[in-house]
């Protein structure tokens, strides 16, 4: 409740209002870009060997021969009710595609964020406490290394070294009896979200219905829960390598930031006062320094959403993770205008929300910050 009082409602409302022209601007920009390009979905996505009638059919079905201004206003009109139309390549409503892909990307990004930021904060704090000692230097070099690393290359190296070399070595050792059987946890499938067996089982399984759940909740739970558990465990297992590939850079960034932030705070007078009072160093760091040093990190947290989105594109391609990144790339290659516009719409919304959340949480945790 105390925290809720700090929320700058007026500021948030104004920012949200300002976000509307921003989103419309992004959508317009993307539409103009797509119009400037030669060709359309009928030339990019259809096999050129198809008879011209097929091409004509696609053009007519999606109104690709209409003038650009007409399609623009049609798109804007549909956007007002958040309808993006049908994807040309997938022959499905765009929202269905987004609804399939977005949760996967959100899972990947959020699990990554939740693990990587505390890790980075921990490392940065450790570095700041032990400034200029060998371990500080070592972590600095390490974080700079991962900060400078292309995520896709790191993802490939993870596939190679962990799920191939290490996994083979471990399974060899298990066969030879030098390692216990439970050590065989490195056999990550290098692609996808679920293992193949599970995918086949899932495709054969009847989809659940609300009627079934409401009529017999306990039975449905008993029937569904093992399934649900197996599914999510499989997903977690598949999440580890992409998560590391994406998270290590944000960990490194957070560590670099945390170190400089904490060093800044430690120089302040109130820390000297706390030490002079004879407080133990642990209390000085955790209660007095850390609380203030964490403030800028909160901003970083919200601002890292666009980077995560960009980073997830490449990592999703390497690991064949069925998320937004792959959807965007596939639709760009096919010049599938409705899907591209929807993807940009969603990602812009995420970015704007991320910025807003970081602004608001900054004001909530730091009463000195006032937006007006």
State the number of binding residues for another protein (CB under 8 A). Answer: 51
For another protein, give the closer residue by CB, 28 or 212: 28
For another protein, give the closer residue by CB, 235 or 311: 311
* Chosen residue from 38, 52, 134, 367 binding another protein by CB under 8 A: 38
Residue 345, Cβ density class (10 Å: 0-12 exposed, 13-18 middle, ≥19 buried): buried
* Chosen residue from 88, 123, 245, 328 binding another protein by CB under 8 A: 328
Q: Is 126 in the site for another protein (CB under 8 A)?
A: no
Q: Which of residues 283-312 bind another protein (CB under 8 A)?
A: 306-307, 309-311
Minimum distance between the CB of residue 278 and another protein, rounded to whole angstroms? Answer: 29
Contact status, residue 28 vs residue 20, Cβ threshold 8 Å: no
| Matching residue, tokens 């009072």 | 277
Q: Is 34 in the site for another protein (CB under 8 A)?
A: yes
Contact status, residue 371 vs residue 359, Cβ threshold 8 Å: yes
Minimum distance between the CB of residue 262 and another protein, rounded to whole angstroms? Answer: 10
Three-state SS at 93: strand
Q: Is 268 in the site for another protein (CB under 8 A)?
A: no
* Chosen residue from 94, 158, 351, 360 binding another protein by CB under 8 A: 351
Q: Is 32 in the site for another protein (CB under 8 A)?
A: no
* Chosen residue from 42, 304, 335, 339 binding another protein by CB under 8 A: 335
For another protein, give the closer residue by CB, 234 or 316: 316
Query: Pattern of binders to another protein over 155-194, x per CB under 8 A?
Result: -xx-xx---x------------------------------
Give the tokens for residue 47: 């096999």
Minimum distance between the CB of residue 95 and another protein, rounded to whole angstroms? Answer: 19
Minimum distance between the CB of residue 1 and another protein, rounded to whole angstroms? Answer: 33
What dihedral angle (degrees, nearest 10) is formed by the CA atoms of 279, 281, 283, 289?
110
For another protein, give the closer residue by CB, 1 or 36: 36
* Chosen residue from 12, 22, 119, 271 binding another protein by CB under 8 A: 22
What dihedral angle (degrees, nearest 10) is formed by the CA atoms of 71, 72, 77, 78?
70
Contact status, residue 305 vs residue 351, Cβ threshold 8 Å: yes
For another protein, give the closer residue by CB, 119 or 263: 263
Q: Is 344 in the site for another protein (CB under 8 A)?
A: yes
For another protein, give the closer residue by CB, 294 or 352: 352
CA atoms 269, 274, 276, 277: torsion sign: positive
| Matching residue, tokens 């958040």 | 82
Minimum distance between the CB of residue 161 and another protein, rounded to whole angstroms? Answer: 9
For another protein, give the closer residue by CB, 126 or 307: 307
Phi, psi of 86 (to 5 degrees): -105, 145
Q: 255-288 burial string, b = 16+ CB within 10 Å, else e? A: bbbbbebbbebbeeeebeebeeeeeeeeebbeeb
Phi, psi of 87 (to 5 degrees): -70, 135
Element spanning 85, H or E: none
Q: 324-344 burial string, b = 16+ CB within 10 Å, else e? A: bbbbbebbeebbbbbbbbbbb
Give the tokens for residue 102: 């977005």
Kindly indicate which of the ranges 197-205, 270-278, 283-291, 313-321 contains the residues binding another protein, using the contact rule CB under 8 A.
Answer: 313-321
Q: Which residues bind another protein (CB under 8 A)?
A: 21-23, 25-26, 29-30, 33-34, 36-39, 144-145, 147-154, 156-157, 159-160, 164, 259-260, 263, 306-307, 309-311, 313-314, 317, 328-329, 332-333, 335, 340, 343-344, 347-348, 351-352
């Amino acid at each position: 409740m105390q925290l809720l009082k700090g929320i700058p409602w007026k500021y948030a409302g104004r920012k949200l209002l300002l976000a509307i022209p921003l989103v419309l601007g992004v959508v317009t920009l993307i539409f103009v870009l797509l119009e400037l390009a030669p060709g359309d979905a009928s030339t990019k996505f259809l096999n050129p060997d198809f008879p011209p009638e097929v091409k004509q059919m696609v053009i007519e079905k999606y109104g690709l021969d209409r003038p650009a201004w007409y399609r623009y206003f049609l798109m804007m009109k549909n956007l007002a009710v958040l309808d993006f139309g049908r994807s040309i390549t997938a022959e499905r409503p765009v929202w269905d595609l987004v609804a399939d892909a977005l949760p996967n990307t959100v899972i990947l990004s959020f699990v990554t964020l939740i693990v990587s930021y505390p890790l980075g904060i921990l490392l940065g704090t450790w570095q700041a406490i032990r400034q200029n000692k060998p371990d500080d230097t070592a972590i600095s070099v390490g974080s700079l290394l991962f900060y400078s690393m292309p995520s896709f290359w790191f993802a490939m190296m993870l596939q190679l070294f962990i799920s191939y070399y290490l996994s083979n070595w471990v399974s060899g050792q298990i066969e030879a009896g030098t390692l216990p059987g439970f050590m065989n946890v490195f056999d990550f499938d290098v692609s996808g979200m679920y293992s193949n067996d599970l995918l086949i089982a899932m495709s054969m399984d009847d989809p659940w219905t609300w009627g079934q759940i409401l009529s017999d909740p306990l039975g449905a739970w008993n029937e569904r829960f093992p399934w649900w558990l197996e599914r999510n465990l499989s997903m977690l297992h598949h999440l580890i390598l992409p998560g590391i590939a994406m998270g290590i850079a944000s960990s490194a960034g957070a560590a670099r930031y945390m170190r400089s932030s904490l060093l800044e705070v430690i120089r302040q007078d109130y820390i000297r006062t706390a030490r002079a009072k004879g407080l133990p160093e642990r209390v000085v760091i955790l209660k007095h320094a850390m609380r203030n040093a964490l403030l800028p990190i909160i901003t970083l947290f919200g601002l890292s959403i666009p980077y995560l989105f960009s980073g997830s594109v490449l990592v999703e391609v390497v690991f064949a993770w069925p998320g937004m990144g792959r959807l965007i790339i596939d639709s760009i290659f096919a010049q599938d205008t409705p899907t591209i516009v929807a993807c940009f719409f969603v990602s812009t919304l995420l970015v704007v929300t991320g910025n807003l959340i970081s602004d608001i949480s900054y004001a909530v945790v730091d009463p000195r910050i006032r937006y007006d």
